[in-house]
Chains A and B, each alone.
Chain A
Amino acid sequence: MSHYNEMFEGDAVRDPYARLSQWVATMPDDFRQMKQAEAEELFRRIGITFAVYGEGGDPDRLIPFDMMPRVFEQAEWRKLERGIKQRARALNAFLRDVYGRGEIIRAGRIPARLVYQNEAYEKAVVGVVPPRGVYSHIIGVDLVRTGKDEFYVLEDNCRTPSGVSYMLENREIMMRMFPQLFRHNRIEPVDQYPALLRRTLESVAPPKCTDRPTCVILTPGHFNSAYYEHSFLANLMGVELVEGQDLFVDGEFVYMRTTTGPRRVDVIYRRIDDPFLDPLCFRPDSMLGIPGLMDVYRSGGVSICSAPGAGVADDKAIYTFVPEMVRFYLGEEPILNNVQTWTLWKDDDYRYVMENLPDLVVKEVHGSGGYGMLVGPKSTKEEIEHFRRKIEANPSNYIAQPTLSLSTCPTFVEEGIAPRHVDLRPYCLCGDRIELVPGGLTRVALREGSLVVNSSQGGGVKDTWVLSE
């Protein structure tokens, strides 16, 4: 399989990488090694680490940072940006709809069962319309590239996508280590993200809020794998980082305990999952949430970002219908393509997938983080047969996709520089406006030939550049 190389076309360097190629070509080996060590030291000093579930080992291990940036031209980015914004509008329209009249289901465009019997569908918020009708305020859209103008959306993350702290840190560290690169290349900044995020959160303050809204980030605590990111963002936004026990409900509002007494909270950017938000509404045994929060939310006393129930839009089974949502709600043709997806609860799809397992990627409907998936072409016969038995036991738990020929970017490796597969996660902010900072987080599969970019599976990260006009 030949892969689209984002830097080279044969031996020729593509335009966006022209200056970088000189930089790489003239970089002595020992200088590169010194800089790589320096980068790791910086990451460690800043404290950015990412614990990985299910791997054992060092929970504070670093995600490998690759110094070779990934570059987009302005025009390439503009198209991606339009496509992502379109998708974000459609996803929020879908959420408004399925917690309201369900027109898309009445119209027969999406099966009722997939929505209403979905684990992430929260009947407790049916009929509740959050401020500005926005349910998902931060959408991480995972994209892969297969050609010059070919991009595919792998999945949408409508709940609490993580990783944006890496986007910010990667840039910060590149600028510190290679300031001259940023003088010679005109690169769109990303450091406005925290201010944009705060503005987004403030723009969805609840109807009962009359002053400048007080926003907080709600974290499950320091044992959570993304705790670093929670505190990092709180710090950069200038808002409090709180745990459930720091908040309480009194009368019609939510308050935060402070040294100067209780302070009303208007917008909660929560990084805990729905079932744990409020023991009086969801799981009665949850200690992470705030008792009574959902009653305040449902009566317009506080905003929760993302809104409870938003997860129904980013389920892997619902994913196959996003292009349909774009057409149904916006009357537009999708700018970004979905990957062809076979849903194993359909008989025809099931037969096709079972006959072609060695060529396909199979994923769990509710899985994430690269766990519980089969990459057919990269698996042994035994692995494929083992997975086949798992599918047979519960077909409706799986979807399958063709193995995409992911693009590669030059990446520093032991032997020098070599192509490695990459994806891209831009972060789309939805409030009174829909905004993105240029670029996003590029993840790179550091193992040669690997197509899995998840940090839990040997993935690394890169700084992502969008060149100015």
Chain B
Amino acid sequence: MKLRISHETTYRYDRPIRNLIQSLRLTPSIYEGQKVLQWQIDLPGGVRGPGFRDGAGDWIEGWTLRGPTDEVTVRIEGRIDTRDTAGVLRGHREMIHPLAYMRETQVTRADPGLRELAASVTQQGDVLNLAHALSRAVSEAITFRPGVTESRTTAAEALALGEGVCQDHTHALIAVARTRDIPARYVSGYLHSTIDGEPHDAAHAWAELHVEGLGWVGFDAANSCCPDERYVRLGSGLNASDAAPIRGIATGGGAEDLDVRVQVEEMAQ
């Protein structure tokens, strides 16, 4: 599937900022499921800093911007060719040992509720079957509903609410997977459309679970499926903040208003 992506993040400050520094994880991963045709990151007025591929295989790029300014935009324009690898992250070069993803974080900590959910899955068979079953269990336990959770909501809180968005599903799946001794991580990226063809907020997140023999396999509990050619993978981390496409700090500036627009369209052949 050939996808055209346009992603614009605009920060508006109620007082001009003096300086801005950002660390961007906004370049598609290199693996069998996707091939970048063209990709451009721009931060008008900013200076491109260091760029490098980290041990997780993600391309990281730093940007700095000197103020004063009261508006900053990070703009992505790109075209990418994707194909379905049944969720398997084949051909992805990375150096980090899967066990490094067994680490608990505050938002992915398994409380009694999550441990109970993990234990309720009695799937027979191999780790892959168990991973599918855990993902299904999370899909059933947390109903997709925007607006009830926020960025700092933990997996335990989302499960207690029974509602949430893709970030919450992903945190919950990571928590239950680790409880069952499966290394799991957070993946951020884009999604063309949901499985029934309905339009979707195109910035997306899902989990990857490590299955011996197969490697990392994606599970999108929010949509009850595995990533296919409609998904564009950017990078990974222990949780949403660790895998965030944009991490940044502005000095000065006061309150900040954020506007994100993402479009993922299929290109005409």
Interface residues of A (CB under 8 A from B): 99-100, 102, 105, 112-113, 115-117, 119, 121, 123-128, 248-252, 279-281, 284, 291-292, 294-296, 298-301
B35 CB to nearest A CB, Å: 23
CB nearest neighbor in B for A114: B99
CA distance A368 to B65 in the complex (A): 41
CA distance A253 to B213 in the complex (A): 41
Judging by beta carbons under 8 Å apart, are A295 and B241 in contact? no
Q: In the complex, given contacts A123-B101, A252-B49, A280-B23, what are 8 additional A-B residue pairs having Cβ atoms less than 8 angstroms apart? A: A113-B99, A117-B100, A117-B102, A128-B55, A280-B22, A292-B49, A294-B23, A299-B50
Q: Is B86 an interface residue (CB 8 A)?
A: no
Q: Is B103 an interface residue (CB 8 A)?
A: yes
CB nearest neighbor in A for B99: A116
Per-position 1/0 for B77-119, Cβ under 8 A of A: 0000000000000000001111111110000000000000000
Q: Is B255 an interface residue (CB 8 A)?
A: no
* B53-68 contacts to A (CB < 8 Å): 54-56, 60, 62, 64, 66
Q: Given the complex, which residues of B lie within 8 Å of A252, measured CB to CB?
A: 49-50, 62
CB nearest neighbor in B for A119: B103
> 6 A-B pairs, CB-CB below 8 angstroms?
A250-B64, A279-B249, A280-B21, A280-B247, A291-B249, A295-B50
Given contacts A116-B100, A123-B96, A295 and B62 within 8 Å (CB-CB): yes
Quick one: which of A112, A125, A249 contacts B21, CB cutoff 8 A? A249
Q: Given the complex, which residues of A lie within 8 Å of B101, measured CB to CB?
A: 123
Judging by beta carbons under 8 Å apart, are B96 and A292 in contact? no
Quick one: which of B54, B66, B98, B99 contacts A298, CB cutoff 8 A? B54
Judging by beta carbons under 8 Å apart, are B95 and A100 in contact? yes
Q: Is B51 an interface residue (CB 8 A)?
A: yes
Judging by beta carbons under 8 Å apart, are A248 and B19 in contact? yes
Q: Given the complex, which residues of A lie within 8 Å of B56, measured CB to CB?
A: 123, 126
Judging by beta carbons under 8 Å apart, are A280 and B248 in contact? yes
Q: Given the complex, which residues of B lie within 8 Å of A299, measured CB to CB?
A: 50-52, 62
Judging by beta carbons under 8 Å apart, are A249 and B62 in contact? yes
Residues of B in contact, count (CB < 8 Å)? 30
Judging by beta carbons under 8 Å apart, are A295 and B49 in contact? yes
Q: Given the complex, which residues of B lie within 8 Å of A105, measured CB to CB?
A: 97
Judging by beta carbons under 8 Å apart, are A249 and B249 in contact? no
Judging by beta carbons under 8 Å apart, are B54 and A126 in contact? yes
CA distance A300 to B52 in the complex (A): 10
CA distance A83 to B249 in the complex (A): 46
Most buried by A among B21, B60, B241, B248: B21
Judging by beta carbons under 8 Å apart, are B96 and A126 in contact? yes
Q: Is B47 an interface residue (CB 8 A)?
A: yes
Given contacts A116-B99, A117-B103, A121-B100, A292 and B21 within 8 Å (CB-CB): yes
Judging by beta carbons under 8 Å apart, are B23 and A127 in contact? no
- A-B pairs, top 4 by smallest CB distance, nearest first, are A126-B55, A299-B50, A116-B99, A295-B62
Judging by beta carbons under 8 Å apart, are B64 and A126 in contact? no
Q: Given the complex, which residues of B lie within 8 Å of A100, measured CB to CB?
A: 95
Q: Given the complex, which residues of A lie within 8 Å of B96, measured CB to CB?
A: 123, 126
CA distance A112 to B100 in the complex (A): 9
Judging by beta carbons under 8 Å apart, are A296 and B100 in contact? no
CB nearest neighbor in B for A112: B99
Q: Given the complex, which residues of A lie within 8 Å of B21, measured CB to CB?
A: 248-249, 280, 291-292
Most buried by A among B50, B52, B98: B50
CB nearest neighbor in A for B97: A116
Q: Given the complex, which residues of B lie within 8 Å of A296, measured CB to CB?
A: 49-50, 62
CA distance A99 to B97 in the complex (A): 9
A294 CB to nearest B CB, Å: 8
Quick one: which of A117, A126, A279, A298 contacts B52, CB cutoff 8 A? A298
CB nearest neighbor in A for B53: A127
Judging by beta carbons under 8 Å apart, are B102 and A124 in contact? no
Judging by beta carbons under 8 Å apart, are B247 and A284 in contact? yes
CA distance A60 to B19 in the complex (A): 38
Most buried by B among A105, A112, A117, A294: A117
CA distance A112 to B96 in the complex (A): 12
Judging by beta carbons under 8 Å apart, are A284 and B99 in contact? no
CB nearest neighbor in A for B98: A116
CA distance A116 to B55 in the complex (A): 13
CA distance A449 to B93 in the complex (A): 57
